[in-house]
Structure 1
Amino acid sequence: MRRLAVSLAALAAVAMAVAGFAPGPSAATPSADNPSYYSLKLPAGVTIADLIRDGYDISHGHGSRPTVVATPAEVDRLRDRGVVVGKTGNVYQPVIRSATDAAGTTYYGGYHTTAGHEQHNAAVTAAHPDLVKLYDIGDSWKKTKGQGGHDIQALCITKRAPGDCALDSTGKKPKFVLLSQIHAREIATGEIAYQWIDLLVTSYGTDPEITSLLGTRELWVIPIANPDGVDVVAANPAEPVLQRKNVNNSTGGCPAGDAGVDLNRNSGFQWDVQQGGPCDETYPGTKAGSEPETIAVQGLLEKIFRDTKGEVGEPAAAGTTGVFLTLHSFGNDILAPYSYTNTAAPDRAALVALGKKMGALNGFPVSTGDAGVGYFAPGATDDWLYGTRGVPSYTFEIGPDSGSGAGFFPAYTCFTKTLWPAQKPALLYAARAAATPYGQLP
């Protein structure tokens, strides 16, 4: 079953881009054959895990009824199985192509392409050498195969002093890390990273809180953890492609667009081969840490964070510093470890307490485990960092379940007016909390 459901118009636009053509400025209105979002109420004997194994694109399973991204034909098949399906919204919002789309730096009304992020990273590094250090932490899958691809880039932002931003854990400043767009189609997450970088570098010296943060913290950002996947998403600027995974097609046998590895199931902690086959959206890869993007991210985090945790069932040391946030879409939730099991993490009370502090600022509730809907995430990045090093680690699910700001492709106007402003105070609090994450801040 095909999960990368795109309209015929989207496929045609991708083909034109590959051939070297680009459609001119035009208004795009979602067509009737596009996939939409549907809530699910399951009959007895059918589980979310069953639907995922059968190839359905279950996009969100925390905090509310799970949501499926489905075409009309897939909806009919679900109803034949006794699943109660209710449409909650369209995947695509109307957008107007702009001149910047044609330049290859933005798409879908203002979201930045991988090239746009790379240009931005270079520009802020050049403009603020006293604040920003840019690292190449590894290669994307396509680059490892000599097929183009990208470097995985990370920025360290701080008022730089000797020893700051080193690729080791000896630095004196506590570290806050923001990771975005590990799932390529979750486009608001990369844009939050973009705006966060700009907020930090432009506010230093004028905003007292941010000036203090940059003097006392290292603020690390990995804006695009899945750059090859983002290239696929942005290939059609008006109706982005629903690419979740990286583009590793080495296993073969998948329909066009269905190959790849879910990088948020590929970490070296609680990796689970049962998460899906090579064509499934949650395919965890051939082994834990099989993907170069995973190796790049884990490699950086292993270098900059001290290991303060023993076995899986043991708590982190009381003096642990640092906070890690990985941004996903959607559902307006904060997910605290663990997400691979309903068994409570040894630091669950403290993790939830910090999560609630952040949630009080962005309006998101906090949950752990599968939140009662049977949607686990073994091999997730945040579980890996907390489980192996004790660093408090969270997933933010950005965006509501319905409306023009919902889903994987929210209208850019919703992003600028609602989604980004809602996250700024939570990110600033997380950065402050990095000094004493298992303590209580005011």
Structure 2
Amino acid sequence: MFSSRRTASAVTALACLILLPAAQAGVSAAQEASPTGAAATADAGSVYSVPGTDSRSRTEINRTGAQVLSVRDGVATVQATREQARRLRAAGFALEEQQDVAAALDALSGPEAGIAGAADFPPADRGFHNFDEMNAELDKAVQDHRAIAVRSSIGRSYQGRDIPMLKISDNAAQDENEPEVLFNCNQHAREHLTTEMCLHIINRFTDGYATNPAVKSVVDSREIWVVPVTNPDGSVYDVASGQYQGWRKNRQGSGTDTNRNWGYRWGCCGGSSSNPNSDTYRGSAAFSAPESAALARFVDSRVVGGKQQIRAHIDWHTFSELVLWPYGYTYNNTAEGMTQQEYDRFARVGTEMARTNGYTPQQSSDLYITDGSTTDWMWGKHKIFSFTFEMYPSGGGIDGFYPDDEVIGRETARNDAAVDILLREAGV
């Protein structure tokens, strides 16, 4: 994963360890404890390997307040504080330590990170766009392609930052009777590769319009909405010191996980936390986070004449290389609002998209239970054909959130065919 510029500093933070068999055991949701996933917290914790897991045991791991970061062949990579790790071991899970999170973040940030006034990615990762650079890219897209690109806003973040959105269509300033598709990125602050994914979509369908007949055909027959940074406060905070913070949530109090704050089955099923210090804290109420509320209001506003105009959607995340579809709140394939025929379409199209990029296709709850998620709300309320993509890499610890900037071009273009399939399905 690491280029040569990172190898020397990172090797000491990453170790491959022989894993012990695990006993499966239940862990009470009442055991939620202190926060994980943020270098700024008192206990950033460690990353552990946990073998022999399935979707139910991974759900139980998350319910302790620890967090499953990735899964490969049943081996879960888990971020946990010392107390959470102790409780997991007491419940019968075998944990083997891989990384100290704070040390790993230091290694990933590099020796020049944290200099005064940095307010940006560490020097070795300046290929990623910070918030100001992302805004400049949107302005450039509009300036270069005024007929097909219009910039707007879905609202403001908790700290008052604008949450920008770009519309791409052949007559972008008009509301035409065409299928609409929504892409949103960077709900979770540390998942910066997703912002690059949204910018790649924007550049592909604007710069390619005049020269690529396939691109032109899509733009002429669809209305494409792109939100490159859904959680601007968290994204800015994660790199503002010039050193990675490992931050996931928004910046409202101790932070809300905006992808557990949506109103469909909010807090229903042990797939989020009521503890404000948890990385999966669902907030005080559904849509208590202004960022999730703003995106939901926009989607609600696209109901025209009683019909939802947005037909398809991808919520981009990192990491694990997965294509996920609803529902996340239940292990059942079918439930209220999801017929077998509808589920079969999700599975068919999700599998087709995964064949193009090498990701693993599965129902969201096959990973672990989540409630109050974006895709569940998109489908559960509006019948929007909604997927979550977990991007590169396929596995890892805290380092998985911070891949080298050299992979940006490859890993965003890797999803072109999948995006095209979703755009096609919006017209079905």
Normalising TM by the smaller chain, what interval? 0.7 to 0.9
Is the 8 Å Cα contact of residues 36 and 45 (structure 2) preserved in structure 1? no
CA-CA distance at 1:39 after TM superposition: 2.8
Q: Deviations over 1:382-431 (max 9, x none)?
A: 110111111100000112344799611111112333x2121122112222
Aligned position for 1:4: 37
From 363, 371, 377, the counterpart of 2:370: 377
Q: Deviations over 1:8-39 (max 9, x none)?
A: 9xx9xxxxxxxxxxxxxxxxxxxxx9866433
Aligned position for 2:249: 245
Residues 48-63 of structure 1: pairs in structure 2 closer than 5 A: 48-60=58-70
CA-CA distance at 1:353 after TM superposition: 1.1
CA-CA distance at 1:328 after TM superposition: 1.0
Is the 8 Å Cα contact of residues 400 and 406 (structure 1) preserved in structure 2? no
Unmatched runs of 5 consecutive residues or more in structure 1: 12-32, 144-149, 165-170, 250-258, 310-319, 437-442
Aligned position for 2:168: 157
Secondary structure class of the residue paired with 2:276: coil
Is the 8 Å Cα contact of residues 133 and 157 (structure 1) preserved in structure 2? yes
The answer to whether structure 1 residue 434 and structure 2 residue 426 are counterparts is: yes
Aligned position for 2:136: 119
The answer to whether structure 1 residue 329 and structure 2 residue 329 are counterparts is: no
The amino acid across from 1:117 in the alignment is M
CA-CA distance at 1:5 after TM superposition: 4.1
Find the aligned partners of 2:236 and 2:157 in 1 and give their Cα distance.
11
Q: Deviations over 1:232-256 (max 9, x none)?
A: 111233x41111111111xxxxxxx
Find the aligned partners of 1:404 and 1:37 in 2 and give their Cα distance.
6
The amino acid across from 2:358 in the alignment is G
Closer/same/farther in 2, CA of residues 138 and 70 from structure 1, 3 Å limit: same
The answer to whether structure 1 residue 363 and structure 2 residue 367 are counterparts is: no
Q: Deviations over 1:123-163 (max 9, x none)?
A: 222222111111111110112xxxxxx11111101111663
Closer/same/farther in 2, CA of residues 94 and 263 from structure 1, 3 Å limit: closer
The answer to whether structure 1 residue 410 and structure 2 residue 383 are counterparts is: no
Closer/same/farther in 2, CA of residues 48 and 403 from structure 1, 3 Å limit: closer
Residues 138-177 of structure 1: pairs in structure 2 closer than 5 A: 138-143=155-160, 150-160=161-171, 163-164=174-175, 171-177=176-182
Q: Deviations over 1:59-96 (max 9, x none)?
A: 34698443212478976775566432346776664658
Q: Deviations over 1:89-127 (max 9, x none)?
A: 7666465869xx978565533211122212221222222
Identity over aligned residues, as a percent? 26
From 327, 343, 353, the counterpart of 1:348: 343
Residues 99-248 of structure 1: pairs in structure 2 closer than 5 A: 107=122, 108-143=125-160, 150-160=161-171, 163-164=174-175, 171-237=176-242, 239-248=243-252
Is the 8 Å Cα contact of residues 302 and 310 (structure 2) preserved in structure 1? no
Identify which range, 420-429 or 155-164, moves more after superposition: 155-164
Closer/same/farther in 2, CA of residues 85 and 292 from structure 1, 3 Å limit: same
Is the 8 Å Cα contact of residues 259 and 374 (structure 2) preserved in structure 1? yes
CA-CA distance at 1:264 after TM superposition: 0.5
Secondary structure class of the residue paired with 1:376: coil
Identify which range, 267-276 or 193-202, moves more after superposition: 267-276
Secondary structure class of the residue paired with 1:66: strand
The amino acid across from 1:66 in the alignment is A
From 27, 38, 42, the counterpart of 2:48: 38
The amino acid across from 2:36 in the alignment is R
After TM superposition, the score normalised by the length of structure 1 is: 0.75
Find the aligned partners of 1:230 and 1:128 in 2 and give their Cα distance.
27
Closer/same/farther in 2, CA of residues 290 and 34 from structure 1, 3 Å limit: closer
After TM superposition, the score normalised by the length of structure 2 is: 0.78
Closer/same/farther in 2, CA of residues 260 and 124 from structure 1, 3 Å limit: same
The amino acid across from 1:52 in the alignment is N
Is the 8 Å Cα contact of residues 39 and 88 (structure 1) preserved in structure 2? yes
Find the aligned partners of 2:141 and 2:204 in 1 and give their Cα distance.
11
How many residue pairs match? The answer is 375
CA-CA distance at 1:181 after TM superposition: 0.4
Unmatched runs of 5 consecutive residues or more in structure 2: 1-33
Find the aligned partners of 2:72 and 2:310 in 1 and give their Cα distance.
28
